[in-house]
Amino acid sequence: MTLGITQSGDLHLRYVDVGTGEPPLLFIHGGSCDYAHFAPQVEYFRKTHRVVAYDQRGHGESAKCGTYTVGALAEDARWLCDELSLVSPVIIGHSLGGSVAIAVGAAYPELAAGLVLLDSAGFGRNPEQAAAVRTRIASAATDASRQEVRSWVGEGLFEPFDDPATVREIMDTMARQPWEVWRELAESWVSFDLGAVAARVRVPVMYVGTSRPKINLAAIAESYPEWYIGRTVGAGHFHQLFVPAQVNAMIDTFISQIERTNGAMGS
């Protein structure tokens, strides 16, 4: 296992690099999270693939520097692929990480072999919803950041059947992020037109919703008929932690489908 820091100027990113096997997998965590929120996937896929997971800028032990926008985070992902010589990875993003994966896929069509979006929000957001988020961001005081983040996180991200101890750990991690980073990320995320950017992606994509999806999966399937659509059972937003076997199996199947498709095209 390699646990290291790669750096360019003021930016440094903490990452874990384990396993061997093609295609390599790049895991991008959600907002206010860190790479440990993919621990079950790292442990499972390291047996058959090269796996890289990292803390995005402003998160975990990576640098708090520069701007915190979806575009900047996507550039970080591209840079990390270059630094670590990740060739044609399947990029798996959870929540905000799914928006980052989509941004990478749209901006660099030759970089990724495929994208997996784990309960990534932003599809079909209307102006009223965006305005409500911006109002809440503006009204939150810096000295109340921990409580504000806990309040936001607790509203709709978890289900009654999610393990309470794991829920507390997730909320503690998310509440540790500096408020100014969280606020800028939230503003960038609500401004990011995920649907429009996703329309420019030309690699295979799989979207995986949760037991009680906040996103209309039928609408996604209608808008992107070529995408693979899945749904886990018995977990909320952090389903990769609560029901990892389901998520891992879907990713495995998606990778196999990519390989079969590529094989057929090459024959």
List % helix, strand, coil for the chain (3-state, nearest 5).
50, 15, 35
Model confidence at 49, in pLDDT bands (50, 70, 90)?
Answer: very high
Decide if pLDDT at 234 tops 90.
yes
User: Looking at 73-77, 190-194, 217-221, which range is the least confident one?
Assistant: 190-194
User: Looking at 5-19, 24-38, 174-188, 243-257, which range is the least confident one?
Assistant: 174-188
CATH 3.40.50.880 fits 2-266, yes or no: no
Strand pairing report for 25-28 and 114-118:
unpaired
Q: Give the rounded percent of residues in the chain with a pLDDT score beyond 90.
A: 66
Handedness of CA 185, 94, 92, 114 (dihedral sign): negative
Q: Give the rounded percent of residues in the chain with a pLDDT score beyond 70.
A: 90
Of 124, 112, 120, residue with least CA distance to 254: 112
More confident: 132 or 225? 225
Model confidence at 2, in pLDDT bands (50, 70, 90)?
Answer: low
Decide if pLDDT at 47 tops 50.
yes
> Which residues make Cβ contacts (< 8 Å) with residue 196, sequence separation at least 6?
none
More confident: 133 or 247? 247
Take residue 57 and report the two structure tokens written for it.
């800028």
Contact 27, 18 (CB under 8 A): no
Backbone angles phi, psi at 176, to 5 degrees: -80, -15
Q: What local confidence, expressed as pLDDT, does residue 187 receive?
A: 86
**Mean pLDDT (whole number) for 91-115:** 97
Contact 12, 60 (CB under 8 A): no
Strand pairing report for 25-28 and 51-54:
parallel
Rounded-to-integer distance, Cα 52 and Cα 56, Å: 12
Take residue 243 and report the two structure tokens written for it.
């029901």
